[in-house]
Structure 1
Amino acid sequence: MTAAATDHKTSTGNLNFILVCVFIDMLGIGLIIPVLPPLVGQFVTGREQQALWYGILATVFGLMQFIFMPMLGAASDRIGRRPVLIYSMAGMCINFLTTAWAPNLACLFIGRVIGGMSSASMSVAMAYASDVTSHENRAKSFGKVGAAFGLGFICGPMLGGLLGSTDLRLPFYVAAAMSAANLVYGYFVVPESLPANQRAPMRWDRVNPLGSLARLVRRRDIRELVIVVVLVTFAQMMLQSTWVLYTTFRFNWTPRDNGLAMFCVGLASVVVQAGLLAVLMRRFGEVRLSLLGLASGAVTYLLYGLATQGWMMYLFILCNLLAFAAGPAMQGIISKTTPSNEQGELMGSLQSIGSLGVVVMPLVGTSILGAVSHLPANDWRIGATFYVCAAMQTVATVVAYRYFARRRAAA
């Protein structure tokens, strides 16, 4: 066996380790998605109050993520990926147990704070994937990580919906057990991916979340792409923070119904990112695939808001396959512009955009949804949050198109 073949085999093995970690982590997180909004509803009265307080809890989680995500990403550049992953797993386990035992909203806040401080697994996993794969295969590796993420959402929400139909708190106990299993797996199995001679010193300007975002914005080579990521991420955060409440208000869905819908989302994600991504990359290339995925997402958001029957939501999910390929393609383009010893910081900064979205968009989205929650279920205005998402996604598509067109003209 040649040295190149050996290196490839080792990299694949290391990547497989991290895929299992991401899957178990997202399985635990997916378990609680269909049941957290109804659990909040047990402590408040009325739809508007439920939407408001759920949005506040999501904002608290996002604020902690926003503060700590760049710090943990930069820490993984300094001390290695493995210790940060283990820390994240332990924190998520404590978060789930705190939420399961919560007798009031205050305890739910504590759980959200702990979870936000420790939920660094995705950014570090992306950095880990960049460590163990070559330049030309990096987008495919990000796609595999995204597929593991999606696979967790195939099993997690559906299982959470079924368990939540029995007891709303049961999924949190199961999620805690999953995180504990992930902690054991990470401690005993996952190897370090970043060699000591490639680690970077940890400086305040690298861990300051605002400074991290400012450095991305100052990078003129990818400034427009950062704007695209912000718009797309903010739209996704609004959708995620209002989906369960929206479908409950409009279609009277139960946790089981939402679990099944998220199963469809995870299935579509895995089919694209694990099965079709390589084919789509060869057929369209990273640039065209990014643009097609962005445009597909914009149309789908609009259709979500206009849907009049619950079954339509499933149809729109399964027709939006190209959108699941846009993320890995865009991440691959951005990653190739950054040195290997700064990948953790880059991925942490990109994840902090998502965290900033979780700070802002749940309050925006749930406020909009709360304002229209009194309307009849068949009133088109109740889909207002998705119309805002469609507008942001459309602007992102236009900005990305102009960026790539200008680069092509310059080349």
Structure 2
Amino acid sequence: MSTTTMALPGTAVKTKRIASIDLLRGTVMIIMALDHVRDYFNNSAYIFDPTDLSKTSVILFFTRWITHFCAPVFAFLAGTSAFISGTRKSKKELSFFLLTRGLWLVLLEFVLVTFEWTFNPAYNVFLVQVIWALGISMVFLAALVHLPWRAILLIGLVLVFGHNILDGVHMEGNILWAFLHDQRYFQLGHTGLFVGYPIIPWIGIMATGYCFGRLYTPQFDAARRRRTLIYLGLGAIALFIIIRAVNVYGDPNPWSAQKTPVFTFLSFLNVTKYPPSLLYVLVTLGPACLFLAFAEGPLNGFTKKVVTIGRVPMFFYIIHIAVIHALAFIGAEISGHSWRDMVLSNWVTGSPALQGYGFNLAIVYLVWIGVVVGLYPLCKWYDTYKSSHREKQWLSYL
């Protein structure tokens, strides 16, 4: 992530990386890997949803819940990156880049990422997930950047705050509506289509993140930016608490009293991701703003490594899925299943052949740590290669 310094007309604009943004992005990428390891390795993943309060445990719930931060932060910061990139480009150049990168991500989701999730060359199912949502949001942002900043912010906030009005609208068999606001699975002949990430709120999140990029322009010094980030973060968290307590709007699943106070608290936190509800966005992006507020400062040995991953998030995303799925082949064999059971025709936890497969959370955490540590040298290599070959424009698409 780069920021800019003021330059005279006709002179080159100097840029430097914003380490706090890379640190946040690297953190959520590492957390994201935990969720994907859980999908492929945890025995409970093949029996019940980890946020099902009638069956889950506190540690399993939070193993899943903490990963809620990943997708909204990634989409939000993608918008922020676009704004900062736009300070070095014309609107036309920025719009073209967003359009072409967005279309490239959609293609990547259908061709490569779906294959990595399934390892099935027959493509019995297409998984329409987060990379698709990012790509389509970039396509829309390519058009929105031509509008005034206030108009983009208004559109983004309306989509984020208002889309839950549509929660009661369901159109069985309507693929277009599924793409927009209603997670669905479709069987199209011999091929399945799982629409996991309806796009209306994701467009709003990225558009709002684009406007957020103004905080990283020269007119905002570090102290003013920190104060603003704290206000935004605390405000979002307070708004989450108020709206969630009222229990009328902001999430299709209201909270309720449970068997213990702890599980009642879990119910309060148990917000909806598909599509991301207003409350989901507030409870994830609020703490993210606080993270950014307190992350500006010198890096230590550990945070430098996290920043490295945050500088190459798409590379990490693509590599880590393939690695986790490949390790799951070994896991299947160890647990008495066949590696062939990991060649999938559906989402991994919805595969009947894997009933009874899996390991406890201790193994999940060990595999997760191993995957992250093992991928770090590759991320460092790619970051160095990318930094050393800025003339290669195709690198900006990965």
Give the structure with the higher percent strand.
2
Q: TM-score, normalised by structure 2?
A: 0.31
Larger helix share, 1 or 2: 1
